[in-house]
Structure 1
Amino acid sequence: MTDHLDPFRRAAKALRKSHLMGDHQAVARLRAHPPRSELSELKHADYLHVIALENSFASWPQLKLAVETQGMDRAQKQQRLKIALFHGQGWVVDTLMQETPDLAEGLFGLQVAMYDVDAVRSALWDDPTLATKMAGPRTPMLHLAFSKMIHQWPDRRDAMIDIADMLLKAGADVNDATPATPEQGRALSALYGAIGHANNMVLGQWLLDHGANPNDKESLYHATELGHHDGLAMLLAHGADPAGTNALYRAMDFNDHVAVDMLLKAGARADDFNGEPQGGEAPHVFPALHQAARRMNDGAMIDLLLAAGADPRAMFKGVTVYSAACVYGNTDLVDRLTALGITPALTDQEQILSAAAQQKPPGGFLDPAKMPTVYRDIIREILHLPGKDAHLRALVAAGAEWDKPDDQGLTPIQIAGWEGRPELVQYFLSLGPDLTHVNGYGGTLLSTIVHGSENCPERANRDHIECARIVLDHGVALPKRMGDLAGMPEMAAFLIDWAAAHPGQVVAG
């Protein structure tokens, strides 16, 4: 079968060859249509990008989509539209709708997700029960809440709210939620969809104003990941109760003093139950200073917690706050505990772990069977933190478990990939990890990297594409449709290009 993209790929290869030979015309083409990388670091994907620009497309994925949709029938285009909406691929939605403006006709859930207010009004006039019926995998209220199209079409804000009003008037429930699944342990509410998933503060405010429950066990936690505090303030103003949740600890993950202060003033307790227990455990208090130790919170955060009543002598699963501070290398916490006269003796295993944190000779080797259970996942816990690479390598040298899955089934290399840390991905690959491991969310190493490119809070400052390149160079298989489903256009372009250049590495599934 003819691949209609082949002429464009050949053009990119020819451009690359001419440019490397110093051809003046090739140089002029790159000046007229600048690639995304520096001229000294161009890769094949950059030349594909230039070819796309020369053909009046903003990117190679957009050119590819346009070529592919030429051969699709209406049903195939509708299926591609559903996938794009589900994965938040706004540029794909835009392209499909420009080509076929009536593509969503008769598909109520898609019309809701794309804020087609006239179509929704007409459909509800004919059949008001549509507001409460499942439309594919979600109810209409959930299609609206989980849609990310507000970022593609901010001018449709009023239309979005009009649709929310119409759905509510027709009987929709603002507390609709997706059913719990084995991958997602609890139901996900419309409020979580708007605030935690779509970062849609306008719709989140509307939901709260119309009775959405702010204590849905997800929204408050994920609001601490947004950084701008709007969602958090909104939830707290509508009665979200942080006591007994893990929202405080999630805010501490980012050393976010403002969010922690907001949560403490709203009733969060410094030493509290850390959300719901895992694996059938009984509920247990998770002391805030233990979290501060392992997240390397600074002195200002520690002072804030101490002022809120955090117990500097608190034990957690047999270890002290001082031990945790030494083991994770949090010198600010060590200094404050020392000033308080709280310096209990460390066990032999804790002394080895503490030496690794200081990059000193360990004086022995770690025995996982003798280590406190809270330290068994220490490599996975510190690898995303700044300045911890030497500490991590010292732990490996001392015998720490560098390929152990955590409670969610995530291995250190998968976390390194999700965090977009290519140097750590390369390091773990050198150790020989299990590349066939599937985590508790059903993710492989490569799919975890792609997921991180869309969801890691630090993704703007990380390099997920380089992580993907490293593992693919190492021989990891590339699922055929992964490029089409990637939500980040640059990642999609890279995976699509890789699949074309390495067909033998592409697998179904």
Structure 2
Amino acid sequence: MTEDTGMLFSGPTPSIDDLRREARRLHKSYDAGDRGARQRLSELPPRGDGRELKRADFLQVVARERGFESWPKLKLAAETQGLDRAAKIQRLKIALFHGQMPVVQALLAETPDLADGLFGLQCALADLSGVRAALAQNPRLATERHGPRSAILHLAFSRWHQLHPDLRPATLEIAALLVARGADVNDAQEGAGGEKLSALYGALCVARNLDLARWLLDHGASPDDGESLYHSAELGTLDGLKLLLERGAKPQGTNALLRALDFNDHGAVELLLAHGATLDEEAQTIPALHQAARRGCDRRMVELLLEAGADPVREWRWVSPYGYARVLGSRALVEALEARGITAALSREEALMAEAAEGRGTPGAYIDPEALPPAYDGLLRGLAGRPDRLAQIKALVSLGLPYDAPDGVDGVTPVQAAAWEGYPKVMAHFLDLRPDMSHVNAFGGTLLGTLLHGAENAPKAEGRDHLACLKLLLEHGVALPRKAMALVGRPDLAVVLQGWAEAHPGQVV
């Protein structure tokens, strides 16, 4: 175990009595109106029925902060395994679930037998001999739930093979053992938004185990699971997209083409169009040309869409493609439309915002945000993921566009978007405007939590620097919840967080 990774697990393990005392202190602080205690309860509310909180509720919070679903489960694990080992096992479960492979590697280096006897974890770790022995004793393990996932989902979603490519053949053998004993290749778990996330989605789009994805398809997995085709467009390679389309996946109604536009991926768009993807269908959340403008797609992409039949005058939320391109600063779309003789009149507000996008300003002019069509809702949130548009962001804020308004869909604010994306210069600008750093979005994420999630899940892109963003947040006084620090999956971020918390204990809540 490296020194940095070890920082994730440093510090003495509390006893059950220590945790009971912590719950009593939390209860007392909460009743006294302590801000830190209130925040701990708001992040992990024990219940939402409005009844007066009791000691059991505070025990529940203490347990959940350590990754356990409830206090009784924490207490049982501590009594049967010892609290230190129980805590490590729980941390291993969380790390495997969230794909935090450095944490998994550190835990297993310290305690190699940590997953012994835990069938779901053995599947996730591609422990072929352990899985085979367990199934020989109890074949029903193949169809039972092990925590939030079945065995085949533990296997499919695991990224462990990325650190150990030699285990990929074992993942196929384990899949065969599970299916032979009744596991469903189309099994799925529920996502944060209620969507169904299948084993195929896990293998292809989360674990990026193309061999296992192909095996699942060969054995009856549906390529039309509602998620895999869309997310295969964000993998940075066409292999997964090709595999699904060759197996009959239907692009219509999936928004996969819009996702390919997010990355200006010409090859993916051409593939989807060749396999029947349609432009401007009613099911799409936004027309293709508007999406191309929003994502800053190049002229080649714009021409590809127009030649494929994208409607150059269809309005979306009261805004034409031309007007939207002017406001977003998409010169590629503006020039392509003007070359075809297509323009549109801009409102006063649109004209001012278009000037901002073009680097021209009108001193003393302000827009009326209430006069903007709904197409511009969340405009700054979208631009926060475009570090090349920082000058435009600053100009729009100067014009009076609300700089801290949450997106109407998922409640993400511009500063949260910049944090998730990992663009420190953009985030620094929004932080200087003094946004609400305690805002919680629809995903349950605070500003710090959103940054930490992005650090582990944002697609690779030039200029991302989540570590620099984290340091900015710390310097601006962001609150440091104990749970967030305990569950961070990147060792470099964990080291910085721990060092800062030790030097600035007043920020820890």
What is the TM-score when the length of structure 2 is the normalising length?
0.82
CA–CA separation in structure 2 for the residues paired with 1:398 and 1:64:
45
For 2:378, the aligned partner's letter is D
Give the aligned partner of residue 292 of structure 1. 292
Note if contact 1:299-1:333 (Cα within 8 Å) is conserved in structure 2: yes
Give the aligned partner of residue 487 of structure 1. 489
Give the aligned partner of residue 212 of structure 2. 203
Structure 1 stretch displaced more, 461-470 or 134-143: 461-470
Cα deviation, residue 460, structure 1: 6.4
Note if contact 1:225-1:457 (Cα within 8 Å) is conserved in structure 2: yes
**1:151 equivalent in alignment to 2:153:** no
Cα deviation, residue 426, structure 1: 1.5
Is the partner of 1:228 in helix, strand or coil?
A: coil
CA–CA separation in structure 2 for the residues paired with 1:98 and 1:329:
51
Cα deviation, residue 236, structure 1: 1.0
Which of the numbers 445, 470, 491 marks the counterpart of 1:468? 470
For 2:394, the aligned partner's letter is R
Is the partner of 1:319 in helix, strand or coil?
A: coil
For 2:277, the aligned partner's letter is A
For 1:172, the aligned partner's letter is A
Cα deviation, residue 93, structure 1: 2.4
CA–CA separation in structure 2 for the residues paired with 1:251 and 1:349:
30
Note if contact 2:8-2:486 (Cα within 8 Å) is conserved in structure 1: no
Q: What does 1:321-400 correspond to in 2, within 5 Å?
A: 321-362=321-362, 364-400=365-401
Residue by residue over 1:152-193, the C-alpha shift from the partner in whole angstroms, topping out at 9 and shown as x without a partner, is 22111111111000001000011111135xx32312111111
Cα deviation, residue 386, structure 1: 4.3
For 2:314, the aligned partner's letter is A
CA–CA separation in structure 1 for the residues paired with 2:338 and 2:103:
57
Cα deviation, residue 328, structure 1: 0.8
Residue by residue over 1:280-319, the C-alpha shift from the partner in whole angstroms, topping out at 9 and shown as x without a partner, is xxxxxx3211111111111100111111111111111211
Cα deviation, residue 203, structure 1: 1.5
**1:440 equivalent in alignment to 2:430:** no
Cα deviation, residue 459, structure 1: 5.5
CA–CA separation in structure 1 for the residues paired with 2:269 and 2:421:
23
Cα deviation, residue 487, structure 1: 2.1
Q: What does 1:146-225 correspond to in 2, within 5 Å?
A: 146-180=157-191, 183-225=192-234
For 1:465, the aligned partner's letter is L
Identity of aligned residues (%): 51
Cα deviation, residue 98, structure 1: 3.4
For 2:199, the aligned partner's letter is A
Note if contact 1:353-1:362 (Cα within 8 Å) is conserved in structure 2: no
Report the CA distance shift for 1:289/1:498 in structure 2 as closer, same or farther (over 3 A).
Answer: same
Q: What does 1:28-427 correspond to in 2, within 5 Å?
A: 57-62=1-6, 65=9, 73-180=84-191, 183-275=192-284, 286-362=286-362, 364-406=365-407, 407-427=409-429
Aligned CA RMSD, in angstroms, stands at: 2.0
Cα deviation, residue 251, structure 1: 0.6
Is the partner of 1:356 in helix, strand or coil?
A: helix
Note if contact 2:5-2:102 (Cα within 8 Å) is conserved in structure 1: no
Cα deviation, residue 438, structure 1: 0.3
Note if contact 1:368-1:376 (Cα within 8 Å) is conserved in structure 2: no
CA–CA separation in structure 2 for the residues paired with 1:261 and 1:68:
56
CA–CA separation in structure 2 for the residues paired with 1:112 and 1:225:
26
Give the aligned partner of residue 280 of structure 1. none
Cα deviation, residue 229, structure 1: 1.5
Cα deviation, residue 66, structure 1: 7.0
CA–CA separation in structure 1 for the residues paired with 2:313 and 2:454:
37
Note if contact 2:95-2:101 (Cα within 8 Å) is conserved in structure 1: yes
Residue by residue over 1:59-109, the C-alpha shift from the partner in whole angstroms, topping out at 9 and shown as x without a partner, is 422255377689963323222221221222323323333343332222111
Residue by residue over 1:304-361, the C-alpha shift from the partner in whole angstroms, topping out at 9 and shown as x without a partner, is 1111111111111211111111111111211111111111211222111211111222
Note if contact 1:480-1:499 (Cα within 8 Å) is conserved in structure 2: no
CA–CA separation in structure 2 for the residues paired with 1:436 and 1:67:
28
Is the partner of 1:316 in helix, strand or coil?
A: coil
CA–CA separation in structure 1 for the residues paired with 2:304 and 2:147:
47
For 1:62, the aligned partner's letter is G
What are structure 2's unaligned runs of at least 5 residues?
Answer: 15-81
For 1:192, the aligned partner's letter is Y
CA–CA separation in structure 2 for the residues paired with 1:349 and 1:76:
56
For 1:258, the aligned partner's letter is G
Is the partner of 1:317 in helix, strand or coil?
A: coil
CA–CA separation in structure 2 for the residues paired with 1:68 and 1:113:
28
Note if contact 1:419-1:458 (Cα within 8 Å) is conserved in structure 2: no
For 2:4, the aligned partner's letter is W
Is the partner of 1:337 in helix, strand or coil?
A: helix
Report the CA distance shift for 1:68/1:109 in structure 2 as closer, same or farther (over 3 A).
Answer: farther
Cα deviation, residue 135, structure 1: 0.7
For 1:61, the aligned partner's letter is T
CA–CA separation in structure 1 for the residues paired with 2:271 and 2:225:
19
CA–CA separation in structure 2 for the residues paired with 1:341 and 1:164:
57
What is the TM-score when the length of structure 1 is the normalising length?
0.82
For 1:356, the aligned partner's letter is A
CA–CA separation in structure 1 for the residues paired with 2:347 and 2:335:
20
CA–CA separation in structure 2 for the residues paired with 1:295 and 1:86:
31
Report the CA distance shift for 1:68/1:257 in structure 2 as closer, same or farther (over 3 A).
Answer: farther
CA–CA separation in structure 2 for the residues paired with 1:412 and 1:457:
18
For 1:419, the aligned partner's letter is E
Report the CA distance shift for 1:73/1:434 in structure 2 as closer, same or farther (over 3 A).
Answer: closer
